[in-house]
Amino acid sequence: MAPTDRQIATLALAHALNAAERGLPVIPLTADRLPALPSPHRGSTARTACTGHCGRPGHGVHDATTDPAAVRALFAAAPHTAGYGIACGQGPHRLIGIDLDGDDDLEPAARTDTGAGPAARTDTGAGPGVGAGGQSDGALRQLALQHLFAIPPTLTVLTPGGGRHLWLTVPPEVAVAGSASRLAPGVDVRGTGGYLIGPGSVTPHGTYRLAPGTAHLPPAPCPRALLRLLTPPARRARRTGAGGGPGARAPRGPEHGEGLVHFVLAARSGQRNTRLFWAACRAYEHGFGDALAPALAEAAVRAGLPAHEARATLASAARLAADRSEAA
């Protein structure tokens, strides 16, 4: 027997209270994943930038709270609740989400909802994403290889459309903007001003649920290299500087090898040889392969690769670099 709307709303409240108890600010959502409380400013002829200072609920993510009594009041005032949202960027955890789109994911690619209803939703037009475990996962892996970071084990939510939301945290001073496919195809970001759909939320297409093996994990800190991609520096006016002045670009040198070493150290089972070979090739391309080889070998061994395999992989990278040099 299918659950009634009342049962779904009761279950959503229970899930939301559990999340709030863990320090995650929540709001009630409809089955369409929109804030369930209508804006108190509907019908106003003047546009309003109210974010809740009027004292009335209905301001979307700005209503988010961890106070149990306030959570109950929000859900009691929302007649069509089927789930709950978790505000991104708010304390104490300052959560963000890396959204790997699924083949059938109907969720808008990026959403910043201030409570004004469907018109406030921001959709970049990316449409349904590419499948998690397919192109979006592959795009994230490629991004990680290119920028030398690894996604740590973290709480993960599976979407009804086959996608995944990876929960990460950011430092208090960092604000991450939401985006759709800016990082890579099918890789969206839920940032400050947006929200993530909480596990247990019900939609016409299915239920959001925790990925097996991740329920016990807390949201992991966002890797520093990924955080730099999520918070690109503001553009500065170009300067010209002779002789390495203020406008000159700093040369890349052996100090860049520290990132390659950390990249190898973060390798998991099944990744060690591949990561070591890739890192060694990059080091040889930049002219410090021989100097960095001992550190890379030590990192690979610490990650669990047998020493003889590490030496063989480094030798292969060195031969490839030599062959390319001769061909050039």
Give domain status of residue 74, yes or no: yes
Give domain status of residue 246, yes or no: no
Same domain, 180 and 276: no
Helices (H) and strands (E) in the chain, counts: 8, 12
pLDDT digits (tens, 9 = 90+) for 77-109: 998 899 999 999 998 999 999 999 875 443 433
Give domain status of residue 247, yes or no: no
Give domain status of residue 313, yes or no: yes
Please state, in angstroms and as integers, the Cα–Cα distance from residue 96 to each residue in 85, 179, 234, following that order: 12, 11, 21
Higher pLDDT, 242 or 280: 280
- Model pLDDT, residue 40: 84
Same domain, 144 and 278: no
pLDDT digits (tens, 9 = 90+) for 250-295: 333 344 577 788 888 888 877 888 888 888 888 888 788 888 888 8
Same domain, 316 and 192: no
- Model pLDDT, residue 269: 78
CB-based contacts of 264: which residues, under 8 Å, 6+ apart?
272, 275, 276, 279, 296, 299, 300, 303
Same domain, 210 and 275: no
Same domain, 157 and 24: yes
The count of domains in the chain is: 2
Give domain status of residue 250, yes or no: no
Strands 187-190 and 179-184: antiparallel
Threshold 0.95, pTM exceeds: no
Judge whether 27 and 63 are in contact, CB under 8 Å.
Answer: yes
> What does DSSP assign to residue 2?
P
CA–CA dist 316, 247 (Å, integer): 39
Give domain status of residue 241, yes or no: no
Same domain, 79 and 131: yes
Name the burial class of residue 61, with classes exposed (0-12), middle (13-18) and buried (19+) by CB atoms within 10 angstroms of its CB.
Answer: buried
Closest by CA to 305, choosing from 152, 291, 314, is 314
Same domain, 224 and 267: no
Does position 235 have pLDDT exceeding 60, yes or no?
A: no
CB-based contacts of 194: which residues, under 8 Å, 6+ apart?
61, 88, 89, 110, 111, 112, 113, 178
Same domain, 9 and 87: yes
Helix (H) or strand (E) holding 147, with range, is: helix 135-147
Does position 70 have pLDDT exceeding 80, yes or no?
A: yes
pLDDT digits (tens, 9 = 90+) for 245-257: 333 333 333 445 7
Q: Helix axis angle, 272-285 relative to 289-302, nearest 10°? A: 160
Same domain, 164 and 220: yes
Range of 261's domain?
256-327
- Model pLDDT, residue 127: 30
